[in-house]
């Protein structure tokens, strides 16, 4: 598969994110599949940051391993990333800022000194314009046509006109011309292919999915990496008709969302692990009052505030046990923006249909990385049926009526003849609290048991309504990787590399973490020759859940918890290792 990878690095505040965004947008406008990784520190200025854009005519699922073109704004970037430069690759730098000694340039690659600051001074004294010149040189080496680059640059300024736009267009053209005069296009460059593609981060896909699902209220306290969900919803609140409330803390945010849902609208909140820890008491209240609510939990490295801008899958145990006592829930885990869009819609449908909280398990890598999405993957025609079918009929309304499915008739509160109590204490069918004694007999014993059975019976319906494990790749593979969330992307790329090396491997992907489709998972694992658990946490939390639910232990493990996402080469290496020792 022919592909091109472009990497840029510098210090926070150098405009690396803008450079990366321009490159990814330009590549997507060429009709290519793109994956963009934004790696940054939790500081405003200073600290090494970098961006990688990987593109191909075929689908790419991760940031990949190496880079073909490296744009280095400082010497630290060159030191850190030159070892990742592929054969035939080029590092672009400005000799006025720093030098790259010849011995630091890997064999088979080249260093291209581009006078980006000198080019910038032709137009303005603002040194940040050097990025436009650097972008021009990088675009030429990457095979990006100048007209596409310049249209992308112009569009990034929106409605702004005038000399700033002209400066950027001029500097980018000069950088492009300089590179064309002193170097050649990288041999891995991919020609334009078809119509431009949509480009989404996971968070944008979640927000768009919520809008398509009819979400009318979002309450959130900003916490990386979930914050941009609120940013997108707020920016589009008028056109999609949604109320966005920035709460004073995460507990207030989920309580507001529960209140909005109780009042009759689809509602959501979003946070990361630290904020979700504050929400667990209210999550239990939603379970007890059987109020639908969607909670996005975008995981980052913990414990405590951990690594605020790094990825991990360490909150699964928290999501499984969040809330005091036991109540039904579903946990969905998308692996890419297209899935994030669809699963967000499904989360709202499940929450409404089964009157219970539904968690969407994301992570930093999915939330903030950028990926192209085919337009047909986003179905915007979403049916939103009303589940408020109860009308006053002169009979007593039992909000928590015992039913075989556990789902009781739901009415918008406040209607005449449909009054009921929705307390956070245990209750009977009418909602009356049962912590009482009548004639010396504790009345809660029988009612508590019946009400718990009613609520927990929803798990069977949730399991039947959610997607089971998906086996991707040849059924008779020698190695089966078991993964969830964004980790599956690197596995999918690794499968292709392993196949090229003569190793047949497949992926057992779990889009629904809970309720676990235990029988289906066990059946797949029984057929797997050498299963390997791949998770971004220390203890293999999904593996523990699988063992608890099925009794199946996955002995081979590839666990990562350094804050960095998985790279395909790590999974390839593990697959070859497991095949070499027979899976023992």
| 346-368 tens-digit pLDDT | 999 999 999 999 999 999 999 99
- Residue among 59, 23, 245 at smallest CA distance from 131: 23
C-alpha span between 501 and 571 (Å, rounded): 13
All residues at 6 or more sequence positions from 481 whose CB lies less than 8 Å from its CB, including other chains: 491, 494, 495, 505, 506, 507, 508, 531, 532, 534, 571, 575
pLDDT-derived band at 109, boundaries 50, 70, 90: very high
Fold of 200-377: Rossmann fold (3.40.50)
With beta carbons less than 8 A apart as the criterion, state whether 228 and 201 touch.
Answer: yes
C-alpha span between 63 and 36 (Å, rounded): 6
Domain regions of the chain by residue span: 3-182, 200-377, 388-466, 470-580
* Sheet of strand 531-535, all strands in order from the earlier edge strand to the far edge: 470-472, 505-509, 479-483, 531-535, 556-559
pLDDT-derived band at 272, boundaries 50, 70, 90: very high
pLDDT at 584 (0 to 100) = 41
The CATH number, out of the four listed (3.40.50.2300, 3.30.365.10, 3.40.50.720, 3.40.50.920), of the domain defined by the range 470-580 = 3.40.50.920
User: Region 91-103: what's the mean pLDDT?
Assistant: 96
- Provide the 3-class DSSP secondary structure of residue 472: strand
Q: Which long-range contacts (CB under 8 A, 24 or more apart) does 447-450 make?
A: 450/402
With beta carbons less than 8 A apart as the criterion, state whether 344 and 206 touch.
Answer: yes
C-alpha span between 30 and 55 (Å, rounded): 10
pTM for this entry = 0.96
C-alpha span between 298 and 558 (Å, rounded): 22
Examine the pLDDT at 166 and tell me if it is beyond 80. Answer: yes
470: part of which helix (H) or strand (E)? strand 470-472
All residues at 6 or more sequence positions from 576 whose CB lies less than 8 Å from its CB, including other chains: 498, 501, 503
- Listing DSSP states for 343-394 in one string gives HHHHHHHHHHHHTSEEEEEEEHHHHH-EEEE-GGG----------------S
Q: Do domains 3-182 and 470-580 have the same CATH topology?
A: no
pLDDT at 35 (0 to 100) = 98
SS3 content of the chain, % helix, strand, coil (to 5): 40, 20, 40
pLDDT-derived band at 1, boundaries 50, 70, 90: confident
Examine the pLDDT at 395 and tell me if it is beyond 80. Answer: no
pLDDT at 439 (0 to 100) = 56
pLDDT at 417 (0 to 100) = 84
For Cα atoms 119, 3, 310, give the angle at the middle one, nearest 5 degrees.
80
Q: What is the pLDDT of residues 117-139, one digit of tens each?
A: 999 999 999 999 999 999 999 99
Q: Which CATH class is domain 3-182?
A: alpha beta
Q: What is the pLDDT of residues 170-211, one digit of tens each?
A: 999 999 999 999 999 999 999 999 899 999 999 999 999 999
Examine the pLDDT at 440 and tell me if it is beyond 70. Answer: no
């Amino acid at each position: 598969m022919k592909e091109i990878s472009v990497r840029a690095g510098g210090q926070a505040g150098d405009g690396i994110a803008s450079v990366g965004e321009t490159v990814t947008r330009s590549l997507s406008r060429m009709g290519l599949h793109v994956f963009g990784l934004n790696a940054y520190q939790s500081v405003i200025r200073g600290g090494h940051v970098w961006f990688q854009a990987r593109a191909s005519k075929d689908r790419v699922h991760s940031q990949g391993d190496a880079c073909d073109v490296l744009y280095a704004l400082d010497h630290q970037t060159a030191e850190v990333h030159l070892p990742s430069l592929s054969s035939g690759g080029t590092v672009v730098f400005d000799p006025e800022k720093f030098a790259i000694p010849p011995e630091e340039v890997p064999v088979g690659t080249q260093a291209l000194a581009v006078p980006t600051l000198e080019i910038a001074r032709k137009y303005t004294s603002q040194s940040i314009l050097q990025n436009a010149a650097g972008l021009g040189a990088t675009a030429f080496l990457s095979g990006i046509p100048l007209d596409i680059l310049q249209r992308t640059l112009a569009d990034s300024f929106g409605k702004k006109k005038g000399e700033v736009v002209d400066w950027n267009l001029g500097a980018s053209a000069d950088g492009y011309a300089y590179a064309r005069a002193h170097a050649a296009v990288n041999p891995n460059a991919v020609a334009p292919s078809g119509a431009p593609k949509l480009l989404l981060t996971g968070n944008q896909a979640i927000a768009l999915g919520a809008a398509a699902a009819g979400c009318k209220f979002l309450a959130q306290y900003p916490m990386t990496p979930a914050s941009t969900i609120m940013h997108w919803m707020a920016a589009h609140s008028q056109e999609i008709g949604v109320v966005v409330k920035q709460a004073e803390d995460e507990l207030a945010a989920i309580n507001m969302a529960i209140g909005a849902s109780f009042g009759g609208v689809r509602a959501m909140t979003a946070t990361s692990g630290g904020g979700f820890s504050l929400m667990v008491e209210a999550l239990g209240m939603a379970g007890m009052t059987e109020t639908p609510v969607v909670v996005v939990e975008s995981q980052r490295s913990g414990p405590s505030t951990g690594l605020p801008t790094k990825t991990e899958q360490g909150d699964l145990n928290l999501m499984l046990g969040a809330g005091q006592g036991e109540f039904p829930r579903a946990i969905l885990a998308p692996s890419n923006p297209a899935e994030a869009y669809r699963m967000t819609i499904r989360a709202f449908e499940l929450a409404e249909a089964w009157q219970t909280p539904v968690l969407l398990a994301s992570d930093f890598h999915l939330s903030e990385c950028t990926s192209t999405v085919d337009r047909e993957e986003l179905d915007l025609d979403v049916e939103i049926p009303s589940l408020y079918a109860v009308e006053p009929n002169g009979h007593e309304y039992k909000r928590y009526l015992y039913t075989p499915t556990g789902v009781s008739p739901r009415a918008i509160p406040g209607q005449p003849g449909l009054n009921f109590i929705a307390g956070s204490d245990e209750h009977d069918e009418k909602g009356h609290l049962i912590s009482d004694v009548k004639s010396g007999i504790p009345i809660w014993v029988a009612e508590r048991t019946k009400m718990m059975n009613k609520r927990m019976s929803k798990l069977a319906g949730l399991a039947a309504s959610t997607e089971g494990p998906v086996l991707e790749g040849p059924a008779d593979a020698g190695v089966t990787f078991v993964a969830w969330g964004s980790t599956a992307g690197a596995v999918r790329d690794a499968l292709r590399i392993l196949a090229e090396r003569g190793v047949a491997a497949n992926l057992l992907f779990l889009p629904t973490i809970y309720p676990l489709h235990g029988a289906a998972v066990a059946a797949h694992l029984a057929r797997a020759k050498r299963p390997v658990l791949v998770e971004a946490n220390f203890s293999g939390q999904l593996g523990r859940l699988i063992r608890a639910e099925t009794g199946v232990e996955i002995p081979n493990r590839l666990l990562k918890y350094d804050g960095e996402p998985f790279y395909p080469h790590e999974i390839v290496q593990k697959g070859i290792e497991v095949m070499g020792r027979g899976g023992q």
